[in-house]
Amino acid sequence: MPLVTGGEVTYAALDYAASAPALQRVWDDVAAYAPYYGSVHRGAGYLSQLSTDLFESSRATVAEFLGCRESDQVVFTRSTTDSLNLLAAALPAGCQVFVFETEHHASLLPWRDAEVTFLDAPRTPAQAVETLERALAARDPSPGSRLRSSRGGPNGPALVCVTGASNVTGELWPVKELAAAAHAHGARIVLDAAQLAPHHPLDIAELDVDWIAFSGHKLYAPFGSGVLAGRADWLQSAEPYLAGGGASRTVARRADGGVDVEWHTTAARHEAGSPNVIGVYSIASACKALTEAGFDSLVEREQALVTKVLEGLAGVGAVRVLSLFGDDAPRVGVISFVVEGWNSSHFAAALSAEYGIGVRDGLFCAHPLVRTLLGSEPQEPGECGAPEAEPGERSLNAIRVSFGAGTPDEHVERFLRAVR
Ligand code: PMP
């Protein structure tokens, strides 16, 4: 839904990478359901049953949207951050985690209780695969060996966490190749699809990743719900992420005074408490809307806007577009840049105040990546931001423009006019 700032002028919300505007279809579906909603899995009443049906059919819709395998589970969470923290809490003992330093903090930081290897920033997709191969081979004394022990060490469990599309550069990562490398060394892989899912059809089986995590609010649904989908075994042998009602099948007092709990072995194990039914239904509605609109044609249109923005920015001498994999690397509608002689925060503020364009400035919760791209030293941290450079100094942060389904051409054209 466009934001109206007055009269006929619409505000150009070009910050889809933070949160994309929810689709009208999603608001319509939620409004139609609103008079009927009730708590799920809990009542014999009609509204509770209706809501339970909608909740569980939303799970099936998401599974279909992601191309889930028969044995995969779809767990509803609050967000991508929540999904990855859930997986981190479910890692088997001794699990080693491999993550590129270029990741969003949501992928970089949840593994603090595991043994983490941070991989250097690659400068090509092929280098990303080589770097991962090398790190996994160093762990595995007999590369290709699938011998596993639950004790950790070189043949113990391992997980690779990688983003599908960067929230800074929009660049696509070689997910399939990284998954193949992980599996060849007996490791598993989770895909942070926060930025990929809104811009690309996904197929978990085809990519051959073990889990996919994404957020509803970036996939054209409102805030508050997310997804972790994939292999059930680690999730179902772990302690529940939250303990409480809904996750437990039976609870009984023992003779010695303690309590015996039998936890569910379905997705419910990690969904304790009354779930966000409307949020979950919104995700399913967005998945259906994207599929019915023809996701491939949405991608095609978005790619035309990517080309237009990149060509437009290339025509402004003072602009430098940030890229890890090179200017020709394929990317989604997420583009960051700096403007010579301009403080990025002032530039973004001017786009908003003078042109009615909302972009983002800062380090985008990917501090190591943005510093690598800007060639700057670590500074005093700010909340996903950076200290301000003085006019004329080298930028310590960047400006990000991002767009997707439903972005009007006029918004992108206005943005380019304003930058020029
Ligand atoms: N990963 C990536 C690549 C992201 O861009 C974001 C959000 N900026 C997240 C994870 C975290 O998403 P959320 O804030 O919805 O948990």
348 and 313 fall within a common domain: yes
Residues touching ligand 1 (Cβ under 6 Å) are 17, 79-81, 104, 106-107, 163, 167, 192, 194-195, 215, 365
- Choosing from 161, 195, 324 the residue with most ligand 1 atoms within 8 A of its CB, the one to mutate for a pocket test is 195
233 and 199 fall within a common domain: yes
The Cα 114–Cα 156 span in angstroms is 12
Q: What is the pLDDT of residues 206-247, one digit of tens each?
A: 999 999 999 999 999 999 999 999 999 999 999 999 999 999
Instruction: Give residue 146's pLDDT.
Output: 43
What is the ipTM for the molecules in this complex? 0.99
Q: Domain holding 252: CATH number?
A: 3.40.640.10
310 and 191 fall within a common domain: no
Closest Cα to atom 8 of ligand 1: 18
pLDDT bin (cut points 50, 70, 90) of residue 44 is confident
Q: How far is the CA of 192 from the centre of ligand 1 (A)?
A: 8
The domain total for the chain is 2
Q: Domain holding 368: CATH number?
A: 3.90.1150.10
- Choosing from 77, 80, 384 the residue with most ligand 1 atoms within 8 A of its CB, the one to mutate for a pocket test is 80
263 and 356 fall within a common domain: no
User: DSSP state, 351?
Assistant: H
Q: What is the pLDDT of residues 253-273, one digit of tens each?
A: 999 999 999 999 999 999 999
| Residue-by-residue DSSP string for 295-344 | HHHHHHHHHHHHHHHHHHHHTSTTEEE--SS-TTS-B-SEEEEEETTS-H
Query: Which atom of ligand 1 has the smallest separation from the CA of 217?
Result: 15
284 and 396 fall within a common domain: no
pLDDT bin (cut points 50, 70, 90) of residue 139 is confident
Angle, CA 206 vertex, CA 86 and CA 81 arms, to 5°: 20
Instruction: Give residue 151's pLDDT.
Output: 41
187 and 281 fall within a common domain: yes
298 and 284 fall within a common domain: no
Q: How far is the CA of 84 from the centre of ligand 1 (A)?
A: 10
CA atoms 72, 75, 81, 85: torsion sign: negative
- Choosing from 19, 166, 212, 218 the residue with most ligand 1 atoms within 8 A of its CB, the one to mutate for a pocket test is 218
Instruction: Give residue 314's pLDDT.
Output: 97
Instruction: Give residue 394's pLDDT.
Output: 59
Q: How far is the CA of 108 from the centre of ligand 1 (A)?
A: 11
Model confidence at 178: pLDDT above 80? yes
216 and 112 fall within a common domain: yes
Angle, CA 101 vertex, CA 103 and CA 192 arms, to 5°: 25
Closest Cα to atom 2 of ligand 1: 194
Q: What is the amino acid identity at position 217? A: H
Mean residue pLDDT of the chain comes to 91
Closest Cα to atom 12 of ligand 1: 80
Q: Is 95 a catalytic residue?
A: no
What's the number of CA atoms in the CB half-sphere (13 Å) around residue 89?
15
Q: How far is the CA of 129 from the centre of ligand 1 (A)?
A: 23
- Domain range for 47: 24-292
Domain C-terminal end among 263, 292, 321: 292
The Cα 89–Cα 83 span in angstroms is 10
Are 32 and 415 a contacting pair, CB within 8 Å? no
Instruction: Give residue 265's pLDDT.
Output: 95
Q: How far is the CA of 318 from the centre of ligand 1 (A)?
A: 30
The residues with which 261 forms a beta bridge, in sequence order, are 251
Q: How far is the CA of 394 from the centre of ligand 1 (A)?
A: 27
Q: Which of 68, 161, 287, 365 is catalytic?
A: 365
12 and 71 fall within a common domain: no
SS3 for 13? Answer: strand
262 and 387 fall within a common domain: no
The Cα 303–Cα 315 span in angstroms is 18
411 and 313 fall within a common domain: yes
275 and 376 fall within a common domain: no
